[in-house]
Amino acid sequence: MAEQRRERERAQERERERERQGVQDVQGAQEAQNAQGGEGDAPDAPNAEEVAGAWEALVATARRMVSDGLVVGTSGNVSVRVGDIVLVTPSGVPYDRLTPDDVTGVDLTGRQVLGALVPTSELPMHLALHRTTDARAVVHTHAVHATAVSTLVTELPPVHYMTGVLGGPVRVAPYATYGTEELARNMVRALEGRTGCLLQNHGTITYGATLDQAYDRTAQLEWMCRLWLTASSVPGLTPTLLTPEQLAQAEERLRKYGQPGR
Ligand SMILES: [Zn+2]
């Protein structure tokens, strides 16, 4: 009996050893990948599984932008943060062609630490948000109604209380050439106290705690822009707008909206 117990204990010990080895293998693979990109010991290096999962979700979000009509072709871009690495859509690759091997990641300074594809040209906007806000995910699109509104006003008139999900009336960041630090600076100013804004003659940008939240904010923003354009295009009539008090009351309720604990 004692012999059987010892044998069982030895088997359990071997099993634990294999598990430890497995964990080290994952970490080793990640470190090797980091080293490839010139990265040493990242202070908050995510494991390979986390990176693979986040990449899959990022690609799904990018494809959804196209299928929902928020962008055409390879326009728009998405990022998601995993530890101190920001995964981003690569520049100019159709989203339906992205595979698990195309993982593209940069550190918070923009230095590429994962993959060989060139990161999105809008890296300055994504990095500005990951550096200066609690954003974990950022979605940028050229949604047609939102972009149309960005050419007409400097702030989306508050026609609906759903502006509350973006922190208040949505501002339009002044125009600057795409991909520049100037555009990123204009965007940061327009986003003060907000989780989404319009970019003049360009499109939308929103962020959130998850890809789903950032995406939903973009969808709500595009819907509100469509609503305002529809209401304001009726000849001879002008849409009523919500007062700051009405907006504040709705915002308060929106904070409690949804299923508790989810
Ligand atoms: Zn763009």
Decide if 204 is inside a domain. Answer: yes
Decide if 217 is inside a domain. Answer: yes
* 196-208 pLDDT tens trace: 999 999 999 999 9
The confidence band for 8, taking pLDDT boundaries of 50, 70 and 90, is low
How many angstroms is it from 96 CA to the middle of ligand 1? 19
Decide if 6 is inside a domain. Answer: no
- 183: CB partners within 8 A, 6+ apart: 124, 125, 173, 176, 177, 199, 202
Decide if 153 is inside a domain. Answer: yes
What's the structural domain count of the chain? 1
- Residue 226, number of CB atoms within 10 A of its CB: 16
Decide if 262 is inside a domain. Answer: no
CATH number at residue 117: 3.40.225.10
Decide if 2 is inside a domain. Answer: no
Q: What percent of the chain has pLDDT over 90?
A: 77
Decide if 201 is inside a domain. Answer: yes
* 9-33 pLDDT tens trace: 555 555 554 444 443 433 444 444 4
Domain of residue 78: give its range: 48-256
Question: Does the annotation count 122 as an active-site position?
Answer: yes
CA dist 131 and 89 (Å) reads 18
Whether the per-residue pLDDT at 51 is higher than 70: the answer is yes
Catalytic residue selected from 7, 31, 50, 122: 122
* 154-187 pLDDT tens trace: 999 999 999 999 999 999 999 999 999 999 999 9
How many angstroms is it from 45 CA to the middle of ligand 1? 29
Whether the per-residue pLDDT at 124 is higher than 90: the answer is yes
- pTM for this entry: 0.82
Whether the per-residue pLDDT at 232 is higher than 50: the answer is yes
Structure-block tokens of residue 96: 């339906």
Q: Which residues of 89-118 are buried (b: 16+ CB within 10 A; e: fewer)?
A: bbbebebeebeeebbbbbbeeeebbbbebe
- The pLDDT, as a whole number, for residue 254 is 87
- The pLDDT, as a whole number, for residue 14 is 52
How many angstroms is it from 142 CA to the middle of ligand 1? 6
How many angstroms is it from 177 CA to the middle of ligand 1? 10
